Amino acid sequence: SVAGGEEKSLYATTQRTHACGELSVADVGKVVKLQGWASRVRDKGAVVFLLLRDRYGDVQATVTDQSTQELKEKAKEVRPECVVEVTGTVQKRDDGAINPNMKTGEVEVIVSDVKVLSRTKSLPFAIDDAKIDTEAKEETRLRYRYLDLRRATMQKAIQMRHKAAMAVRTFLDGKGFLEIETPFLIRATPEGARDFVVPSRVHPGDWFALPQSPQMYKQTLMVSGMDRYFQIVRCFRDEDLRADRQPEFTQIDLEMASVSAEDVMQIGEGIVRSIWQKSLNHDIPEIPRITYDEAMARFGVDNPDMRFGMELADVTSHETVVQSDFKPLQDVAMVKAFVVPGAAKGTTRKVLDQWTAFAKTYGLSGLLYGKVQDGKLSGPLSKVSDDTSALLTSLGAGDDDLVLMASGPEPAVNAGLGRLRALVAKEKGMINEDEYKFVWVTDFPLLEYDEDMGRYVAVHHPFTSPLPEHRSWLADKDKLADVRSAAYDLVCNGYEIGGGSVRIHQRELQERMFDLLGLPEEEAKEKFGFLLEALSYGPPPHAGMAFGFDRVAMLLTKAASIRDVIAFPKTATTSDIMSGAPGTIEDAQLAELFVRSTAPVKQAAEA
């Protein structure tokens, strides 16, 4: 009999007794039935080796020289990626045949029967991590995503994502949170990225939007008395893609009532500690906190990578800079610099030109640089002054160091040098890729002025509360740019993985916020009426946050792109080339929705 009367494997079904990857020396002597893909077939004439694979790993199945000729012939018919059923006895390998690189490397299955359950066409690429980058373009991998997902790297990524999700649910359940679903078909809102919209058949001419976040609904839940809410939820944004963005994405969303920012940040820390511990067995130490202003001063960006130094130094008011006749340093709003330790000799002019071009993409007119030798600067920075010793001392620069400097408008200097800092660290091998460094960034500006729109816009979203001590400043137009919010972001290795804020829970303050954003009262009521109405019925103080779950999974697996941690992602053109989405629909269906396409016929056909 197969597998005798011993305790069943967790993975046993009516079709198999065990999973391929779970067999060990504890199973020696057992008769087992396995099903899986044939990763490799090695025909040695008298002996045939089949490497059988499923989600749980590989195991070697051996047709020995003692097997019948019929069995050998059946084994020889097996081709890579056919689905095979093998029956046999688990046997310990000889010491010299043990494979320490395989989870099941101490055992093999001596085959008594083999069946090919399904065959395969010629593969578009090898199901092999070692060959995938050289043999398959990403477009091909996405077209045959079901094959790509068979690879060990992809299997591990999806399993890691599952572990992380389970860690979140377990942690939040233990803290008294309720998992509550919010609607996907909602009203369009004016702020943020473009909405994906859905026409209503029942209400001709009206449209739903897919949510960019459950923001208003989760705040309404706080008014409802559901004081601890969460969900792992899909959200949608119709925007151009980049490496860490998708049009549909997943976030860990939560909201809490009768709390301060501190309470939510503690829960946020608990979530990431649980995820990293359960997924990687990695303990996160105490997470430092810096304000937005400190982040911009030290790193030039609000999502700094803390795994290396090279902090920016503001030298705008430094005596050497102030007294300099060097034209790039005259009549500018800001001058900043950072030091690349020991990089003077190993950095060529070609590399410096590449860094300059990179910095210019952030609005800088150029990049100033100088190599330090014998206490003096060479290159463009040698023109700053005949004596730059005081400047070098203030920067902490010594011989063989490289100084990079930028001047110009404050936003361009911060963005250009801040992003360049990360690029230089990566190119110079200064980053420990096995390290995770977290930091909270707090007290963001509440508003920023949009020159194109001619009005203020919300830095986070219009429901974010100002710091209590800044609330009165909302009545003073001259102070609006200085108002700081009770908002907080959690950053890991230079990625913003989560963010949130204390919410506005007074209707009057929320209406004032809409007014500052240039949203007329009637339009505010039309768009956000149900939330404004809810805020009239005794809302408790509340706050919350959301984590970008795809980004978290990307960091856990060290994937190069978010697409590598999503089972069925979209391409850079927001399409699913495996299923052919998006596609056209028939005129009859459009008519039912009271919609007519104005796209040229050729384009519509190609879509």
Supply the DSSP symbol for 512: H
Can you tell me the distance from the alpha carbon of 192 to that of 105, in angstroms, rounded to the nearest whole number?
53
In the 3-class helix/strand/coil scheme, how is 437-487 assigned residue by residue? CEEEEECCECEEEECCCCEEEECCCCCECECHHHHHHHHCHHHHHHCEECE
| CA separation for the pair 386, 320 (Å, rounded) | 10
Q: How many residues does the chain have?
A: 607
Nearest to 373, CA basis, from 353, 350, 347: 347
The pLDDT score that the predictor gives to residue 521 is 86
* End-to-end Cα, the chain, rounded Å: 56
In this prediction, residue 607 carries a pLDDT of: 42
Whether pTM exceeds 0.75: yes
**Coil, strand, or helix at residue 417?**
helix
What pLDDT score does 188 carry? 85
Report how many helices (DSSP H) and strands (DSSP E) the chain contains, helices first. Answer: 17, 22
Q: Residue 448: CB partners within 8 Å, gap ≥ 6?
A: 456, 457, 459, 481
pLDDT of residue 604: 45
Per-residue CA distances from 104 to 27, 49, 101, 561 (Å): 11, 15, 9, 31
Neighbouring C-beta atoms of residue 378, cutoff 10 Å: 13
Q: Which of 190, 193, 200 is nearest to 527 (CA)?
A: 190
DSSP state of 383: G
Q: In whole angstroms, give the CA distance from residue 570 to residue 509.
A: 40
Q: pLDDT means per 10 residues in the chain (607 residues)?
A: 67 96 97 97 94 97 95 95 98 95 97 97 91 83 96 96 98 98 89 86 95 95 97 92 80 98 98 98 97 98 98 97 96 97 96 98 97 95 95 97 98 98 97 97 95 89 95 93 97 97 95 90 86 93 98 96 94 91 93 91 52
**Coil, strand or helix at 550:** helix
For each of the domains in the chain, give its residue range(s) and CATH number, in order of start.
25-118 (2.40.50.140), 155-289+439-564 (3.30.930.10), 308-431 (3.30.1360.30)
pLDDT at site 135: 74
The string of DSSP letters for 242-266 reads -TT--SEEEEEEEEEES--HHHHHH
> CB of 367 within 8 A of CB of 359?
yes
